[in-house]
Structure 1
Amino acid sequence: MNTSTNIHNMHLPDSFPPAEKRSLTIGFIPLLDCVPVFVAKELGFFEEMGLDVTLSRESSWASIRDKVQFGLLDAAPMPAGIVLASAMKLGATQPMVTAMGLGLNGNAITVSAKLWQQLNPEGKKFNSQSAAEALKAYLTTVEGPINIASVHTYSTHHFLLREWLTHFNIDPDNKIKQHVVPPPHMINVMQRGSIDIFCAGEPWNSLAQAQQVGHTLLSGHQIWENAPDKVLGVTRRWHEANPASHQRLVAALLKACLWLDNHENKIAGFRLLNKHGYIDADLSSIDLDFGRHCFTVSEATFPWLSQAQWFTGHISALNEKASAKEHSSVNQSTLHQAPLTATYLTDTYRSVAEQLNINLPTKNTKEEGAHAEHWQLPGTKHNISMRPDMKFK
């Protein structure tokens, strides 16, 4: 925990501009990592910031993206890759932006119960390498492709899955068929036998195991420890029309993340999802710590440009493969020129955080995926204690 600030004493100054739009609708997919939005609603942080927020449960990330674009939703937690792909004119009609991240970790890879018996008949404990070796050996014994699902083409889940496979010399495009399935439907689709493996956010991996439909193969932190995932997404048009509303929204979510940066509060926050019907699944049978969710401010909420670069690298690589396969005439140089600073609004985050007296990193980038232990990053008030972020544990 990087701050001892009493969040109940954190307020925007009276001189702060009023919200241009006070009544907001925020979309969500039922996942544990959307908990900052639920906490901000249930604990009154939105109201404290002068906002009247309605939460709207949506069916898929594609639906979230489209409804935000067309103004049916004002904002939503969404995979960072969706926001960045919109700036690259991929899968979106208008560019989106983000002014904050919404946490680290929270994903896992789950295999069907049948495949688990094939991969691990002796019940060994896997790490990223041994799990890959077991999968590679299995692939040599089957003729047809195995079916793998992630939640969106431009999601962290898809990119982590591809990085893991590629790192251990498994071609993600050979003997593997990729699918997109919304997180809440993963268990049913696996139970029907349509997919063999899925990569999704919690609680759907733990619930698949509790229901004996599948077995968790790896937690996402074993592929990339403390990896980024969701961000708060809005359209650029909405941001420009409602700058004070956007800043007040960020302020409320920062307070929620500060509240969640405490183990007891975090578990209590997850339990709110059941109590108030945000997730239609019984969470009492699973380990709510499995995903190792982290909401620490500023570590897990700052819109790091270095993380944006990681996402755009994967997006570009995917589209290069698709273009080569289809002999497309898409100008690949355009895809590599996503305006990161115009999409990840570091100045907006800094402006709000400074008003709330939050310690901030002195730079907008950091070295990603290179730290095996806790490390220190210079901050505007004092050093920021950062968590390990090594890959392939």
Structure 2
Amino acid sequence: MRLPRILLSFCLLGLCLAPCAALANAKKITFGYLVADQLHEPAPMIMKNLKLLENRGYEVKWQEFLSGANLVQHMASGEVDYGTGGAAPVLTFRGLGLDFVMLASSNTNGSALIVRKDITSPKDLDGKNVGTPGIGSMQDALVDKVAEAHGIKVRKRNMKVSDMPLFLQKGEIDAFVAWEPHVSRAEGLGYGHVLLTSQDVLPNHQCCVLVSREKTVNADPQMAADVLDVYLEAMAWFDQNREEARRMISKATGIKAEDVAKAMERVTYPEPPYLDETSMVMLVDSLVSSKKIKKEHVPDSAAFVKNMVLRDMLEKHLKK
């Protein structure tokens, strides 16, 4: 009886160790996303909740960032493999010579300029304090576009987007540009009103994107394929389960479901998720004009954008 018991013990030990061994052999990946931005970029939330990457054998570190500029800085240093964030910081860092690439769209439009109740036109913002998520963010670029179009100067204040409604309510800023649902949240609380949407400032502009670096994609093509596959799976789930997605977003952000529903009306989720290259060319021209990118680094804006969009890869995966 002793031998069978010993064999049984080893078998049970083997069963216990198998998951640990599988975990130890799992590929590690760090995926970044923006704080409280599940409405603009729902795919990471869904990928995380449904364990889509983990189900493919990956050990995932989910990392949250205050803005797209923060995310791409950490990606530039090699701390993040893939992530979702605004197109503006991705374009800016590519303009600085880094090998950033875009794999798919998350959304277009979806941001807005919300102001104090007594402000009725962009001219009223001259000399005023405007909150943004920081230099290099899409929202920061939108502020520049508004200031340039109306011949005004504003004082930018960088802050966490979820804090912006409170700063507006306290009078510490006169306006802010943020992604939804923080705009609708401020409206719902009665702290301000929308003066301009991002659609008004830059129609159909590319907002959040799935981003990585060329060397990351080329170093492990299978990982790149898996990330894009589960990203597309998550976006398809989002499109087919909007009500449940709203509840998930509300829970993740702490924002009322009705404000989330209102916010979603200002956001466009392209299907299939092709990137809007035309709006990104306009954005690059704006970044060059504001000297965030040197003109000598971007002799041809259209070619610059085209070279960083992995459209062939996206089309291949859409045909699966």
Give the aligned partner of residue 84 of structure 1. 91
Contact 2:246 2:257 in 1 (8 A): no
Contact 1:107 1:219 in 2 (8 A): yes
Contact 2:101 2:214 in 1 (8 A): yes
Question: Are residues 290 and 214 of structure 1, via their aligned partners in 2, closer, same or farther at CA, if it must alter by over 3 Å?
Answer: same
CA-CA distance at 1:198 after TM superposition: 0.9
| Percent of aligned pairs with the same amino acid | 19
Give the aligned partner of residue 26 of structure 1. 31
- Structure with the bigger percentage of helix: 2
> What SS class does the counterpart of residue 68 from structure 1 fall into?
helix
Correspondence list, 1:200-211, <5 A: 200-211=178-189
Taking the aligned partners of 1:33 and 1:51, their CA distance within structure 2 comes to: 25
> What SS class does the counterpart of residue 289 from structure 1 fall into?
helix
Give the aligned partner of residue 283 of structure 1. 256
Contact 1:261 1:294 in 2 (8 A): no
Contact 2:31 2:63 in 1 (8 A): yes
Contact 1:108 1:291 in 2 (8 A): no
Give the aligned partner of residue 118 of structure 2. 117
Taking the aligned partners of 1:118 and 1:306, their CA distance within structure 2 comes to: 32
Give the aligned partner of residue 194 of structure 2. 216
Find out whether 1:314 has 2:300 as its counterpart. Answer: no
Question: Are residues 191 and 38 of structure 1, via their aligned partners in 2, closer, same or farther at CA, if it must alter by over 3 Å?
Answer: same
118, 123, 136: which one pairs with 1:154?
Answer: 136
CA-CA distance at 1:274 after TM superposition: 4.0
How many residues are paired up? 291
Give the aligned partner of residue 272 of structure 1. 248
Q: Could you tell me which amino acid in structure 1 is paired with residue 140 of structure 2?
A: H
TM-score (norm 2): 0.79
CA-CA distance at 1:237 after TM superposition: 2.1
Question: Are residues 68 and 227 of structure 1, via their aligned partners in 2, closer, same or farther at CA, if it must alter by over 3 Å?
Answer: same
Question: Are residues 219 and 334 of structure 1, via their aligned partners in 2, closer, same or farther at CA, if it must alter by over 3 Å?
Answer: closer
Q: Could you tell me which amino acid in structure 1 is paired with residue 285 of structure 2?
A: G
Question: Are residues 183 and 333 of structure 1, via their aligned partners in 2, closer, same or farther at CA, if it must alter by over 3 Å?
Answer: same
Q: Could you tell me which amino acid in structure 2 is paired with residue 343 of structure 1?
A: M
> What SS class does the counterpart of residue 62 from structure 2 fall into?
strand
Taking the aligned partners of 2:290 and 2:153, their CA distance within structure 1 comes to: 17
TM-score (norm 1): 0.66
Question: Are residues 200 and 21 of structure 1, via their aligned partners in 2, closer, same or farther at CA, if it must alter by over 3 Å?
Answer: farther
> What SS class does the counterpart of residue 261 from structure 1 fall into?
helix
Contact 1:35 1:270 in 2 (8 A): no
Task: Name which of structure 1's ranges 217-226 and 26-35 shifts more when overlaid on structure 2.
Answer: 217-226
Correspondence list, 1:59-138, <5 A: 59-89=66-96, 94-112=98-116, 116-119=117-120, 134-136=121-123, 138=124
Asked which structure has the greater CA Rg, the reply is: 2
Q: Could you tell me which amino acid in structure 2 is paired with residue 78 of structure 1?
A: G
CA-CA distance at 1:70 after TM superposition: 1.9
Question: Are residues 135 and 306 of structure 1, via their aligned partners in 2, closer, same or farther at CA, if it must alter by over 3 Å?
Answer: closer
Contact 1:109 1:220 in 2 (8 A): yes
Question: Are residues 23 and 182 of structure 1, via their aligned partners in 2, closer, same or farther at CA, if it must alter by over 3 Å?
Answer: same
Q: Could you tell me which amino acid in structure 2 is paired with residue 286 of structure 1?
A: D
Contact 1:206 1:287 in 2 (8 A): yes
Unaligned runs of 5+ in 1: 1-19, 120-133, 323-329, 357-393
Give the aligned partner of residue 172 of structure 2. 194
CA-CA distance at 1:49 after TM superposition: 4.6
Taking the aligned partners of 1:86 and 1:200, their CA distance within structure 2 comes to: 21
Question: Are residues 306 and 102 of structure 1, via their aligned partners in 2, closer, same or farther at CA, if it must alter by over 3 Å?
Answer: same
Question: Are residues 308 and 175 of structure 1, via their aligned partners in 2, closer, same or farther at CA, if it must alter by over 3 Å?
Answer: closer
CA-CA distance at 1:287 after TM superposition: 4.6
